Structure 1
Amino acid sequence: MVTSAQLQILHSSIMSLISTVSSSVTVKLDDSNYLTWNFQIELLIKGHGLMGFVDRSHLCPPRFIMPTFGDSAVSSSDGLSTFESDEFKIWKMHYRALMQLITATLSLSGVSCVIGSTSSYDLRVRLKEQFFIVTRATIFQMKSELQNIKKGIDLISLYLKRIKEARDYVFAAGVQFDDDDIVILTLNGFPSEYNTLRSIIRGRENVISMKDLKS
């Protein structure tokens, strides 16, 4: 007979996530893409209500409880007859499955970094310690590029796309640029033939949005 715990495990979203993770997390974590990877993996896990198993906010339920009639009891360390609860079995399944899920998104260097991890929390801490250090240098570089970006010979659409990508990257790292600052950086990057446009926008009473600037 299928137990309620087995049914919950079979119907859990974690089972389908493991087989489809490559379509949701499109990069394999390596030295160059921690922020992109972390954004995608968190979005996936949070979107399916599973983050509590990773950040340890979903606490492990008691493993053994006293049996009721018809339960298969086992002997605990104190000699009392107990049995493993359904809640613990389900929690343990999610705990291990999330380790499998995250590991499936790693490059070979990422996998070697987490060998020996005992939980999905431990696994993610090791990955951050290993790969986010490399990313800090990239963040500094992206901030510098954003502050000194120039249109050059690019089309306006490509120039604004470069600015958006740089802004999104540093934002994912927790660094925010206000819209006012981004508009100023964008205008500063225009060549001299845009001086009239620059003067008009800077002379506005209200700050223009990036969407309106693009239009």
Structure 2
Amino acid sequence: MALPASPSPVQSATPVMASNLSDAVVDSRFFATKKIGVLLDDNNYLLWRQQVLLAIKTYKLQHFLESSTVPPPRQVMDEDGVLQENLEFARFEQQDCALASWLLSSVSTAVLSHLIGLDSSAQIWNAIFALYGSKTTSQLMSYRRALHSQKKGDLSMKDFLIKIKSYCDSLASCGEVISEHEHVTAILNGLPPDYESIITIVTASQVPYNVQG
């Protein structure tokens, strides 16, 4: 995923707790201004997922994303045996709608077209995973294989290093940050036998080498 152009930050919202509704009956999670760094598109699923999950877990809303979560009954019986609106259901529905709306606000127009008709947080979350989960995993594996199989060959040292870095950047764009150690290892593994003395010096050094050093 060459590094895609960085999407501009988008103004989104994170549900927060409020308890001063005019009817004073239920708590409601309203939206407070919060920047989500990326709009979900075809190239940034893991980065998007990481930011969204952190925000959702901050407010302990992750159970709304689970298909196994069962909402409270819409109505309950009072002491006289009369069916009444269940305030727990009203609270659940309000919070789920707020979260679903927030999720939809964090995706690009192209992705939004795949989510038409979905009105619960779990439906939206699972549809997005179905669209990008397996695809992103496949891309990660492809980039990582390419990183560790890249050989210098006839490339100049500069072009070889740029090629290695491009794979590291592509992995980072998927949310998989490559450590300095793995970056250096990929470089050393791609060098031909002519560089054996350099490889020996680097691998035997007590001081860890970095890409700049």
Deviations along 1:6-45, whole A, 9 cap, x unmatched? xx21xx3x522xx43xx12x22222222222222222221
Q: Alpha carbons of 1:50 and 1:193: their partners in 2 closer, same or farther (altered >3 Å)? A: farther
1:108-127 per-residue CA deviation (whole Å, 9 max, x = no partner) reads 22111011114211112222
CA distance in 1, matches of 2:147, 2:200: 21
Residues in 2 aligned to 1:196 and 1:110: alpha-carbon distance in whole angstroms: 51
The corresponding residue for 1:3 is 24
CA contact (8 A) 2:115 2:127 kept: yes
Report how far residue 65 of structure 1 moved: 2.2
Confirm or deny that 1:37 pairs with 2:48.
yes
* C-alpha contact (below 8 Å) 2:143/2:167 kept by paired residues: no
Under a length normalisation based on structure 2, what TM-score does the superposition of the two structures give?
0.66
**2:158 paired residue among 150, 153, 161:** 153
Structure 2: runs of 5 or more not aligned: 1-21
User: 1:135 Cα deviation (Å)?
Assistant: 3.1
**Greater fraction helix:** 1
After superposition, the Cα gap between the structure-2 partners of 1:178 and 1:104, relative to the gap in structure 1 and judged at 3 Å, is closer
Q: Per residue, is there more strand in 1 or in 2? A: 2
Query: Deviations along 1:68-117, whole A, 9 cap, x unmatched?
Result: 69xxxxxxxxxx52222222111111111111011001112211101111
How many residue pairs are counted as aligned between the two chains? 186
Contact 1:146 1:166 in 2 (8 A): no
The alignment partner of 1:113 has SS state of: coil
CA distance in 2, matches of 1:194, 1:43: 44
Task: Tell me the TM-score normalised to structure 1 length.
Answer: 0.65
Percentage identity across aligned positions? 23
Partner of 1:48: 59
CA distance in 1, matches of 2:77, 2:187: 67
Q: Distance in 2 between matches of 1:58 and 1:34?
A: 24
Aligned letter for 1:83? Q
Structure 1: 5+ residue stretches without partners: 70-79
C-alpha distance in structure 2 between counterparts of 1:170 and 1:127, whole Å: 15
**2:124 matched to which residue of 1?**
123
**CA-CA distance at 1:50 after TM superposition:** 0.9
CA distance change for structure 1 residues 34 and 117 in 2, over 3 Å: closer, same or farther? same
Q: 1:84 to 1:194 in 2, by over 3 A?
A: farther
1:106 counterpart SS class? coil
- Aligned residue identity for 1:130: L
When structure 1 is superposed on structure 2, of 28-37 and 85-94 the one drifting more is: 28-37
Q: Which residue of 2 aligns with 1:15?
A: 31
Q: Is the 8 A contact 1:163 1:186 kept in 2?
A: no
